[in-house]
Amino acid sequence: MRPFSKILFTLLLVVIHSLFSSFGKHISENKYSNYLEGKEVKALVNIKGGMYLKQGHPVGFHFDLLNRFALHQKCSVKIKPILESDPWTELISGRVDILVVDSQKDTIPDEFAHLVISSIDLNHHEQVWVVRRENYQMLENLNYWFSFFRQSKEYLQLINSYYRKYSGVSYAHGPVSVLSPYDQLIKEYSRNIGWDWRLLAALIYQESKFSMSAKSSRGAQGLMQVRAATAKQFDIENIFDPEQNIKAGTLFIKRLQRFYNLPEIDSVNRIKFTLAAYNAGEGRVEDIRQLGMHRGVDHNDWESLAAVVADMRNRENIPEGVIKLGSFKGNETLRYVNEVISRYDDYKVLVK
């Protein structure tokens, strides 16, 4: 065979091999992609991701991964946080289809071991998704999809975003460029309320330490500790979703700002009153201002009103008709406003 013919023949083989490889990969990636199309999958993330957890943001990672899997499978996914009820019973009963667990800490109960199967490890922390055995095809879908997805840049970005070590903001550590996995959402929604994104980040840190699974004893939930009733006022139902939580929280802030958008209140005090109202409610802030007016204190200056708050502990100290909501232990609110503003001042210097 002539040299030119040999070269042409070799090139032809390379092209044919590439075509078949690409075709084979396409088949592998889509082999099970139609099984879940149009269905709703219910998932429960049974992994702790509280305010003081040092191992990254695992709940956010799985929330994002579940949504990406659902997008690929052309199905919808409804994701629940940790419940008070037994998560394994939730799975076995069919109330959820996927249970996200940490296999290092959460072993399958003996009585359920023959009824469930788990996925391959989804990260280096040996966290897996568990399904009922009859849903093995769902698990095959996941394993096939994930075997390709974990080789992508998207997966590496998820790992870097949710499991990186976020340095605490301090003058000792120096400037930082990233505060949390939710910086882009915070920047986007801060514009809707006219705030520097670092101020909104300071509030979110105060509320949840950037943990989407944070939950208070009063029923507030998520990054901005929004109550379901508050979110419902803005037609938002899923406050476990980080974006929906921030959306609800900022819509609430936007509403609160209207109370203090007065020419006699300067921009700094407008922010402080809004923060106080976010923490204690606009009714409490109105009571503080009314008592300040009664005492001859500048009711448009938050720092001047701070001394008034201490007197609201005892209802007997306040004449009838001055305030509407009764006694108020306001130290928490004073501390809340001071800490958010102090953190924001640090962020302005150290977050670029």
| 296 and 154 share one domain | no
pLDDT score, position 54: 61
Cα–Cα nearest to 144, from 51, 286, 30, 232? 30
| 68 and 206 share one domain | no
CB contact set of 81 (below 8 Å; sequence gap of 6+): 44, 45, 59, 213, 215, 221, 240
| 202 and 308 share one domain | yes
Q: Is residue 291 part of a domain?
A: yes
pLDDT score, position 2: 52
| 148 and 211 share one domain | no
Cα–Cα nearest to 161, from 130, 185, 182, 132? 182
| 193 and 153 share one domain | no
CATH number, position 146: 3.40.190.10
Q: Is residue 2 part of a domain?
A: no
How many domains, in total, are found in the chain?
2
| 146 and 189 share one domain | no
- From the candidates 40, 84, 134, 207, which is the catalytic residue? 207
Please tell me what DSSP assigns to residue 185.
Answer: H
CATH number, position 309: 1.10.530.10
Q: Is residue 187 part of a domain?
A: yes
Known catalytic residue: 332?
no
As a dihedral over the C-alpha atoms of residue 337, residue 341, residue 343, residue 345, rounded to 10 degrees, the angle is -170
pLDDT score, position 197: 98
| 151 and 272 share one domain | no
- Single pTM value for the model: 0.87
Identify the domain containing residue 282 by its residue range: 183-350
| pLDDT block averages, 10 residues each, the chain of length 352 | 47 45 46 80 87 74 97 96 91 97 91 96 95 96 96 96 82 86 97 98 96 91 96 96 98 98 97 98 96 95 93 83 89 97 96 89
CA 50 to chain centre: 11
